[in-house]
Each structure stands twice: as structure tokens, then as C-alpha cells.
Amino acid sequence: MDLSIVILSYRSKKDLERLLPSVFASQTKYSFEVIVVDNGSNDGTYEWVQAYSNQHLAYSIKLIRNTNTGFSAGNNLGIKQASGKYILLLNPDTEIESNTFEVMLDFMESHPDVGISGCKVLKPDGSLDLACRRKFPNPWNSFKRLFLLSNSDYNLTGKDVNQEMEIDSVMGAFLLIRNFGKSENQRVGETDFRLPSGDYLDEEFFMYGEDLDLCWRCKEAGWKVWYYPKTSITHYKGSSSAKIAFRALKWFHDAMWIFYRKHYKNKYPFFFNWLVFLGIYARLGVLWAINSLKSKPRVSS
């Protein structure tokens, strides 16, 4: 198997009704399987995927029923069932182009030094989803982004959206991984970027931040992370988080602190770490209050 596509679903029946047909309409020379992990949906998602699979027996769909153990844990469950040389983490609230798999796997095959890649991710209005090419967050660029409203040091807003480049991180909505479960992918001199448990995603991140952490470990192990905009997907962003906006907002800020604690805490003095902690959760409090006044609460844009 060339590609294993892992789709984590949470109350995503309507999204999957759009995504799965676009996946199986792909024009590609590569073999692929689809693994859908349903994280405790109560909207008929599991039953719909089961019926869809039975109606399209030519399609390769593995369906896993799970409780809501979070984004990282749910994806890890699907990854454990993956047999592909590459693994694609794909959000249910996306829609792919017919050439997406072909273009991205051609790129990975011709760039053996790339451990993780992502394509151009567009919002429904055609604008770039800025999270698809990022630098790692750090105290300075996070301060500029949150208080000075400057994204250039984080989301690379000064770069041409059609320029391919090595970056720090792609986004979890479309995250293509070279699978270390297949020994032929591991070249002499390169090290594995999985956790000691063998998982790719750190399950301490319930939702959000796990993609940044994985890309950090990928680069730390000597691999490259690459933005390759020769193909694109559409991201109908926030479909799952909007259903649980206040909890998702908490998880979003928890992820900020977990990432900082893992990768920066030991580099700064105690008082500075406390300032960062207080800043993150003060921001949570403010946004929680603002969202309580909105008819449609929002986690991120």
C-alpha cells in the first residue's frame, strides 16, 4: 500500500458526505486505503460511513468506532491500522482535488529527505488558510501575533502563497508523513521521529498543537518539513470545534502551554515561564467572555 489516509471524525457526517466522494474520485497511480476513526459521534456518522462502505465495495475503507479520546489519540488509533508507505492525516471538513494524492506522493518520492509535507490549504472563499505553513511559535512571534497583530514571523504572510519552501510546520488538516512503520523509508543516518511509545502524535495534546509538536520532532530528528503548493485542498474550517466551542477554546490554550512547556520552558527563567502561563490563560479568559456574547462562538480563524 502506498498511502494510508486517516480521517478522524467527530459528529462529521455531513463533512464526510462531501469528503469521501472527492477522495475516491482521485486520479492517481498510487494505491491507497481510507481509515475512518469515529470519535464517539452521536449524529449517525458511524452508521453512514458503514453504509457508504457497503454500497461501494470497491473502495478500501476501514472503519473504527472509538470513544472521544481526543484528536491525537484518535489519529494514533487509525495510524496503528495503517499499512501505507505514507500516512496522510486528513480532516473530515476538507475536500481534495483530483490530483492531490498524485502530486504530493510524487513530491515525497522524489525528496527522500522530507519527513512531513503539506499542500496549499484554501478556505472556501479561496483565501489561504494561514496555518498550512508556519514557523514554530515562540514567545516573541506569539507576542507579536496576539498583541501587535503581526503574522509575518509566524504565518509567513510576506511569502508568495505559490512558493514551495521548507518550513517549520504544516497543519493537521492535511499532514503527510513518511511512515517509519515501513523500514524501506528509513535511510541510513536518519532517526525516527516517533515518540518512545511508537506513536506519531503526543496524546497529551487533546486537540490542537499536536501537528506543531510532531513537526518539531521531525526536524529535530534531521528531516525536513515542506510546504508544496502545486496542489490544494479546501478546508471548511472549524466544523468539529464549532460544535463544542467553549471546550475547544480551552483545549486550544492548553495546547499553547503544553507546547511551550515541552520545548521552551527549560530555556527561560522561572519568572518568565510564569508570565507566559499567565498570559496564555488570561487570553483564554478574555476570549471566553467575548464568545459568551456571540451567537456563534469561535475558536480560531
Mean pLDDT of 134-144: 87
Query: Considering the domain boundaries, does residue 297 fall inside one?
Result: no
Q: Which of 218, 240, 262 is the last residue of a domain?
A: 240
Quote the CA–CA distance of 63 and 54 in Å, as a whole number: 11
Q: Which of 240, 260, 280 is the last residue of a domain?
A: 240
**DSSP 3-state assignment of 291?**
helix
Query: Considering the domain boundaries, does residue 298 fall inside one?
Result: no
| φ/ψ bin of 10: left (φ > 0), alpha (ψ from -120 to 50), beta (otherwise) | beta
Q: Which three cell numbers stand for residue 82?
A: 495503517
* Tens-digit pLDDT profile for residues 205-233: 999 999 999 999 999 999 999 999 999 99
User: Is the entire prediction scored with pTM above 0.85?
Assistant: yes
Q: Which amino acid is at 3?
A: L
Q: Are residues 208 and 255 in the same domain?
A: no
Q: Can you say how many angstroms the Cα of residue 252 is from the centroid of all Cα atoms in its chain?
A: 13
- State the residue range of the domain holding 272: 242-292
* CATH number of the domain where residue 44 is located: 3.90.550.10
Q: Which of 200, 217, 240 is the last residue of a domain?
A: 240
Quote the CA–CA distance of 216 and 228 in Å, as a whole number: 18
Quote the CA–CA distance of 215 and 235 in Å, as a whole number: 20
Q: What percent of the chain has pLDDT over 90?
A: 72
Q: Compute the mean pLDDT over every residue in the chain, rounded to the nearest whole number.
A: 89
Query: Considering the domain boundaries, does residue 266 fall inside one?
Result: yes
Q: Are residues 47 and 135 in the same domain?
A: yes
* Tens-digit pLDDT profile for residues 30-78: 999 999 999 999 899 999 999 999 988 778 899 999 999 999 999 999 9
* Tens-digit pLDDT profile for residues 110-136: 999 999 999 999 999 999 999 999 999
Q: Are residues 166 and 282 in the same domain?
A: no
Q: Are residues 73 and 86 in the same domain?
A: yes
- Total structural domains within the chain: 2
pLDDT band at 300 (very low <50, low <70, confident <90, very high): low
As beta bridge partners, residue 120 has: 232
Q: Are residues 269 and 169 in the same domain?
A: no
pLDDT band at 188 (very low <50, low <70, confident <90, very high): very low
